[in-house]
Amino acid sequence: MKKNVVAGATGLVGNNIIQQLAARGDKPVALARRKIEDLPANAELLEIDFRQFLISGHLPQCGHLYLCLGTTIQAAGSREAFRAVDFEYSLAVAKKAIEAGATGVSLVSSVGADANSRNFYLETKGQLEEAIKSLGFSTVNIYRPGILVGDRSESRPLESLGKVLLQIIDPLLVGSLSQYRSIRANLLASTMIDNANQFVGVNYLYFKDFNVD
Protein backbone atom coordinates (compact mmCIF):
# COMPACT_ATOMS: atom_id res chain seq x y z
CA MET A 1 0.00 0.00 0.00
CA LYS A 2 1.39 3.39 -0.98
CA LYS A 3 1.54 5.87 1.87
CA ASN A 4 1.69 9.61 2.27
CA VAL A 5 5.12 10.80 3.40
CA VAL A 6 5.54 14.05 5.32
CA ALA A 7 9.08 15.48 5.31
CA GLY A 8 9.68 18.02 8.03
CA ALA A 9 7.11 16.42 10.31
CA THR A 10 8.42 18.18 13.43
CA GLY A 11 7.85 21.60 11.87
CA LEU A 12 4.82 23.83 12.10
CA VAL A 13 3.08 22.79 8.88
CA GLY A 14 4.41 19.24 8.70
CA ASN A 15 3.20 18.34 12.18
CA ASN A 16 -0.25 19.70 11.40
CA ILE A 17 -0.36 17.57 8.25
CA ILE A 18 0.61 14.43 10.19
CA GLN A 19 -2.06 15.10 12.82
CA GLN A 20 -4.77 15.80 10.27
CA LEU A 21 -3.94 12.85 8.00
CA ALA A 22 -4.01 10.53 11.00
CA ALA A 23 -7.32 11.99 12.17
CA ARG A 24 -8.77 11.23 8.74
CA GLY A 25 -7.81 7.58 9.14
CA ASP A 26 -4.67 7.66 7.02
CA LYS A 27 -1.39 6.03 8.11
CA PRO A 28 1.19 8.68 7.16
CA VAL A 29 4.95 8.33 7.39
CA ALA A 30 6.61 11.12 9.36
CA LEU A 31 10.13 11.82 8.10
CA ALA A 32 12.11 13.61 10.79
CA ARG A 33 15.51 13.99 12.46
CA ARG A 34 14.18 13.32 15.95
CA LYS A 35 11.32 11.66 17.78
CA ILE A 36 7.90 13.28 17.68
CA GLU A 37 6.31 13.35 21.12
CA ASP A 38 2.72 13.75 19.91
CA LEU A 39 2.93 11.32 17.00
CA PRO A 40 -0.49 9.72 16.43
CA ALA A 41 -0.75 5.96 17.01
CA ASN A 42 -1.60 5.31 13.35
CA ALA A 43 1.39 7.30 12.03
CA GLU A 44 4.82 5.83 11.39
CA LEU A 45 8.06 7.61 12.29
CA LEU A 46 11.03 7.33 9.95
CA GLU A 47 13.83 8.90 11.98
CA ILE A 48 16.83 9.73 9.79
CA ASP A 49 20.12 11.54 9.57
CA PHE A 50 19.66 13.64 6.46
CA ARG A 51 23.32 13.60 5.47
CA GLN A 52 23.39 9.83 5.57
CA PHE A 53 19.98 9.69 3.92
CA LEU A 54 21.42 11.50 0.89
CA ILE A 55 23.86 8.65 0.44
CA SER A 56 21.98 5.46 1.24
CA GLY A 57 18.48 6.28 2.44
CA HIS A 58 15.22 5.25 0.86
CA LEU A 59 11.53 5.81 1.42
CA PRO A 60 8.73 3.25 1.67
CA GLN A 61 6.39 2.98 -1.29
CA CYS A 62 4.49 6.25 -1.34
CA GLY A 63 1.87 8.00 -3.38
CA HIS A 64 2.22 11.63 -2.28
CA LEU A 65 5.01 13.63 -0.66
CA TYR A 66 4.33 16.61 1.58
CA LEU A 67 7.59 18.54 1.50
CA CYS A 68 7.71 20.85 4.50
CA LEU A 69 11.43 21.00 5.33
CA GLY A 70 12.65 24.46 6.21
CA THR A 71 14.76 26.53 8.56
CA THR A 72 16.14 30.06 8.80
CA ILE A 73 19.65 31.35 8.25
CA GLN A 74 19.78 32.35 11.91
CA ALA A 75 18.76 28.90 13.13
CA ALA A 76 21.00 27.11 10.64
CA GLY A 77 24.00 29.27 11.48
CA SER A 78 25.06 30.16 7.95
CA ARG A 79 23.81 30.54 4.40
CA GLU A 80 25.46 27.25 3.48
CA ALA A 81 23.74 25.37 6.30
CA PHE A 82 20.40 26.99 5.42
CA ARG A 83 20.72 25.97 1.78
CA ALA A 84 21.62 22.42 2.81
CA VAL A 85 18.24 22.04 4.51
CA ASP A 86 15.99 24.14 2.30
CA PHE A 87 17.44 23.06 -1.02
CA GLU A 88 19.75 20.03 -0.89
CA TYR A 89 17.87 17.93 1.65
CA SER A 90 14.48 18.90 0.25
CA LEU A 91 15.47 18.01 -3.30
CA ALA A 92 17.03 14.74 -2.17
CA VAL A 93 13.84 13.69 -0.39
CA ALA A 94 11.80 14.54 -3.48
CA LYS A 95 14.07 12.38 -5.62
CA LYS A 96 13.76 9.52 -3.12
CA ALA A 97 9.97 9.88 -3.26
CA ILE A 98 10.01 9.56 -7.05
CA GLU A 99 12.08 6.39 -6.70
CA ALA A 100 9.51 5.09 -4.18
CA GLY A 101 6.66 5.57 -6.63
CA ALA A 102 5.26 8.96 -5.63
CA THR A 103 3.34 10.76 -8.36
CA GLY A 104 2.47 13.92 -6.44
CA VAL A 105 4.26 16.45 -4.26
CA SER A 106 3.00 19.35 -2.17
CA LEU A 107 5.77 21.84 -1.47
CA VAL A 108 5.73 24.58 1.17
CA SER A 109 7.60 27.47 -0.45
CA SER A 110 7.20 31.20 0.22
CA VAL A 111 5.41 34.17 -1.23
CA GLY A 112 7.93 36.00 -3.40
CA ALA A 113 9.97 32.89 -4.19
CA ASP A 114 12.00 33.51 -7.35
CA ALA A 115 15.03 31.63 -8.63
CA ASN A 116 16.41 34.95 -9.91
CA SER A 117 15.71 36.97 -6.77
CA ARG A 118 18.48 39.10 -5.26
CA ASN A 119 17.25 37.96 -1.84
CA PHE A 120 19.10 34.77 -0.84
CA TYR A 121 16.13 33.24 0.99
CA LEU A 122 13.69 33.84 -1.86
CA GLU A 123 16.27 32.78 -4.44
CA THR A 124 16.80 29.47 -2.64
CA LYS A 125 13.06 28.85 -2.40
CA GLY A 126 12.63 29.66 -6.09
CA GLN A 127 15.48 27.41 -7.12
CA LEU A 128 13.96 24.54 -5.17
CA GLU A 129 10.62 25.08 -6.91
CA GLU A 130 12.30 24.88 -10.31
CA ALA A 131 14.26 21.77 -9.35
CA ILE A 132 11.16 19.99 -8.01
CA LYS A 133 9.24 20.80 -11.20
CA SER A 134 11.90 19.05 -13.28
CA LEU A 135 11.72 15.69 -11.47
CA GLY A 136 8.70 14.27 -13.25
CA PHE A 137 5.90 14.32 -10.67
CA SER A 138 2.44 14.20 -12.28
CA THR A 139 1.22 16.73 -9.73
CA VAL A 140 3.31 19.54 -8.27
CA ASN A 141 1.39 21.77 -5.86
CA ILE A 142 3.54 24.72 -4.80
CA TYR A 143 2.23 26.66 -1.81
CA ARG A 144 3.44 30.22 -1.37
CA PRO A 145 2.20 31.41 2.03
CA GLY A 146 3.06 34.62 3.81
CA ILE A 147 4.01 34.44 7.48
CA LEU A 148 2.88 31.18 9.07
CA VAL A 149 1.04 31.46 12.37
CA GLY A 150 1.13 28.72 14.99
CA ASP A 151 3.08 27.37 17.93
CA ARG A 152 6.62 26.48 16.92
CA SER A 153 9.05 24.35 18.88
CA GLU A 154 11.77 26.86 18.01
CA SER A 155 11.82 30.61 18.56
CA ARG A 156 11.84 32.88 15.52
CA PRO A 157 11.94 36.47 16.85
CA LEU A 158 11.37 38.20 13.51
CA GLU A 159 8.33 36.05 12.79
CA SER A 160 6.93 36.87 16.23
CA LEU A 161 7.26 40.56 15.47
CA GLY A 162 5.72 40.01 12.06
CA LYS A 163 2.70 38.28 13.55
CA VAL A 164 1.98 41.29 15.74
CA LEU A 165 2.31 43.70 12.85
CA LEU A 166 0.19 41.57 10.55
CA GLN A 167 -2.72 41.64 12.98
CA ILE A 168 -2.92 45.29 12.00
CA ILE A 169 -1.80 45.00 8.39
CA ASP A 170 -3.65 41.84 7.27
CA PRO A 171 -7.07 43.51 6.89
CA LEU A 172 -5.48 46.11 4.60
CA LEU A 173 -4.03 43.51 2.24
CA VAL A 174 -6.73 43.10 -0.38
CA GLY A 175 -6.78 42.12 -4.02
CA SER A 176 -3.36 41.10 -5.34
CA LEU A 177 -1.83 42.06 -1.99
CA SER A 178 -3.79 39.33 -0.19
CA GLN A 179 -1.02 36.85 -1.01
CA TYR A 180 1.09 38.52 1.71
CA ARG A 181 -1.43 37.87 4.47
CA SER A 182 -0.47 35.60 7.34
CA ILE A 183 -2.00 32.13 7.43
CA ARG A 184 -2.54 29.68 10.28
CA ALA A 185 -0.52 26.52 9.80
CA ASN A 186 -3.48 24.23 10.44
CA LEU A 187 -5.41 25.88 7.60
CA LEU A 188 -2.50 25.57 5.20
CA ALA A 189 -2.13 21.92 6.20
CA SER A 190 -5.81 21.15 5.57
CA THR A 191 -5.60 22.89 2.19
CA MET A 192 -2.61 20.80 1.19
CA ILE A 193 -4.37 17.58 2.15
CA ASP A 194 -7.63 18.53 0.40
CA ASN A 195 -5.78 19.44 -2.81
CA ALA A 196 -3.37 16.51 -2.95
CA ASN A 197 -5.45 14.57 -5.47
CA GLN A 198 -7.39 17.41 -7.05
CA PHE A 199 -4.94 18.74 -9.64
CA VAL A 200 -2.48 17.64 -12.28
CA GLY A 201 0.53 19.51 -13.60
CA VAL A 202 2.21 22.39 -11.82
CA ASN A 203 -0.02 24.52 -9.59
CA TYR A 204 0.88 27.63 -7.59
CA LEU A 205 -1.36 28.33 -4.62
CA TYR A 206 -1.57 31.55 -2.60
CA PHE A 207 -3.60 32.91 0.30
CA LYS A 208 -6.79 33.17 -1.79
CA ASP A 209 -6.53 29.41 -2.47
CA PHE A 210 -6.12 28.40 1.19
CA ASN A 211 -8.86 27.14 3.53
CA VAL A 212 -9.30 30.47 5.26
CA ASP A 213 -12.30 31.17 7.46
What distance in Å separates the CA atoms of residue 107 and residue 149, rounded to the nearest whole number?
17
What distance in Å separates the CA atoms of residue 184 and residue 170, rounded to the nearest whole number?
13
User: Quick one: pLDDT at residue 154?
Assistant: 56
User: Quick one: pLDDT at residue 95?
Assistant: 96
- 180: Cβ–Cβ under 8 A, 6 or more apart, which residues? 111, 146, 173, 207
**What are the beta bridge partners of residue 7?**
31, 67
What distance in Å separates the CA atoms of residue 122 and residue 108, rounded to the nearest whole number?
13
Q: What residue spans of 4-89 are helical by DSSP H?
A: 12-23, 50-56, 73-76, 79-83
Among 29, 16, 22, which Cα is nearest to 62's?
29
Homologous superfamily, domain 3-208? NAD(P)-binding Rossmann-like Domain (3.40.50.720)
Determine whether 44 is exposed, middle or buried from the number of CB atoms within 10 Å of its CB (0-12, 13-18, 19+).
middle
User: Quick one: pLDDT at residue 173?
Assistant: 76
Tell me the Cα Rg of the chain: 16
Secondary structure (3-state) at 4: strand
Residues 6, 44: contact at Cβ < 8 Å? no
Other C-beta atoms closer than 10 Å to the C-beta of 207 total: 22
Give the residues of the chain that fall short of pLDDT 70. Answer: 1, 152-164, 166, 213
Name the strand (E) or helix (H) holding 108. strand 104-108
